[in-house]
Amino acid sequence: MAETLTHTDTHEAQGGWDGASQPFKASYGKLMMWYFLLSDAFTFSGFLIAYGTLRVSSPTWPVPDFVFSTFPGGIHHAPLIFVTLMTFILLASSFTMVRAVQEGHQENKNGVVFWMILTIIGGFAFLGCQAWEWNNLIFEESVSYHTNPFGTHTEYGTYLEGDGHDINAGDTFVPGDSYLIHNHEGEWHHLQYEVTQGEDAGMTKKQSFGPKAFGALFFCITGFHGFHVFSGVLFLLIICINAASGLYVERKNGYEMVEKIGLYWHFVDLVWVFVFLVFYLL
């Protein structure tokens, strides 16, 4: 009996390691969380580099401030405002997570639970925003993984018909101007236009779809990130309940679980910095 106790004591004193010393003076759990995050960083980098490669390989690419310009409540032409809000929600939840970890160092159970609940609310708010954004893209703007109605003009021209939204017959456009092909009850309305300058001047053409890969990349990458947020929220909930039940009060390493989920949560925020950069800013 006495032997078992001694063994447990040494074991916990070494932060979960079996050997005589702690590699990198970090506990087993924390070090492994760092390496997991490193591998996850490579997964996300792979996705984002794939996005960059396909974007560079396409003659045109949907312009982010045209694509992401709607805001709940029927507001249009508000470029990037909604995603900026999402970024702030995630940043705020990162801050509340930092506070939870600090309260953990103080062994303040109520503080940990309070700040973790705020973090969980932030996580759900972010997921709610993402759900709205996806819903808007899929059901209002008819983007799917195989069809991308967001196109970009490559010529000068004049529209011969209007779409009943933003475009009227007679409107002119220049190369680089964006358009959205509307879908009414399953039918695509490619507007006709007349080319006014260049080799094809005088020809009548129809709006063509934008690069196919856009939808697939967007849903894949933001979906994968959203899945990370979702699983993060679940783990936050579990650890918050454990903390509230007083489980960590008796542990030798105290609130280390809170620190570990904190690392994960900050990583989710970190990935969002780059998703935000690549999809919305560039």
Which residues sit at the interface with another protein, rule CB under 8 A? Answer: 23-26, 31, 34-35, 37-38, 41-42, 45, 49-50, 52-59, 65, 79-80, 84, 87-88, 91-92, 94-95, 97-99, 102, 105-106, 190, 194, 202-206, 208, 262-263, 266-267, 269-270, 273-274, 276-277, 280-282
Closest among 264, 187, 175, 186 to 225, alpha carbons compared: 264
C-beta separation of 265 from 92 below 8 A: no
Residue 16's φ and ψ, nearest 5 degrees, are 90, 0
Closest among 32, 88, 96 to 240, alpha carbons compared: 96
Tell the smallest beta-carbon distance from residue 141 to another protein (Å): 20
261's tokens: 């989920």
Q: Where are the beta strands (DSSP E) in 54-106?
A: none
Nearer of residues 95 and 138 to another protein, judged by Cβ: 95
Nearer of residues 1 and 20 to another protein, judged by Cβ: 20
Tell the smallest beta-carbon distance from residue 59 to another protein (Å): 7
- Distance, in Å, from the CA atom of 231 to the CA atom of 167, rounded to the nearest integer, reads 42
Nearer of residues 186 and 202 to another protein, judged by Cβ: 202
What's the one-letter identity of residue 93? S
Number of H helices, E strands in the chain: 7, 8
Nearer of residues 108 and 138 to another protein, judged by Cβ: 108
- Distance, in Å, from the CA atom of 242 to the CA atom of 237, rounded to the nearest integer, reads 9
Nearer of residues 80 and 247 to another protein, judged by Cβ: 80
Tell the smallest beta-carbon distance from residue 45 to another protein (Å): 5
Nearer of residues 26 and 138 to another protein, judged by Cβ: 26
Tell the smallest beta-carbon distance from residue 109 to another protein (Å): 15
Place of tokens 């805001």: 71
- Distance, in Å, from the CA atom of 17 to the CA atom of 27, rounded to the nearest integer, reads 7
Tell the smallest beta-carbon distance from residue 72 to another protein (Å): 18
What's the one-letter identity of residue 137? L
Nearer of residues 202 and 246 to another protein, judged by Cβ: 202
Tell the smallest beta-carbon distance from residue 70 to another protein (Å): 16
Tell the smallest beta-carbon distance from residue 62 to another protein (Å): 14
C-beta separation of 255 from 248 below 8 A: yes
Give me the sign of the Cα torsion angle 109, 110, 111, 112: positive
- Distance, in Å, from the CA atom of 150 to the CA atom of 70, rounded to the nearest integer, reads 14
